[in-house]
Amino acid sequence: MHRHRIRRLMVEAWRLNKHILYPLIPAGKQLHLFLIFTDNRLPDYEPVKEAILKGIAKLAEQINPKEQNSTDPASGI
């Protein structure tokens, strides 16, 4: 089934990149995440990985906006 392959690709991309997000989650808090695939075509691994990384970056910004701004040279800090 195609849906099983898509699920495996998404799970693998998450597994290999979740280390980016985990340190940003405050102690005593949990993150519940679900992913929805909406394309009709069967993707390769690279586009799935890029989408997962983009989602991780957005989540990181939502979880810890101060850290994102403090590393931005345009913030003037």
Q: Map 1-65 to HEC letters.
A: CHHHHHHHHHHHHHHHHHHHCHHHCCCCCCCCCCCCCCCCCCCCHHHHHHHHHHHHHHHHHHHCH
Reported as a single tens digit per residue, the pLDDT across 32-65 is 989 899 888 999 999 999 999 999 999 999 988 7
- Please state the pTM of the whole predicted model: 0.75
Reported as a single tens digit per residue, the pLDDT across 8-32 is 999 999 999 999 999 999 899 888 9
Q: Which of 51, 37, 49 is nearest to 1 (CA)?
A: 37
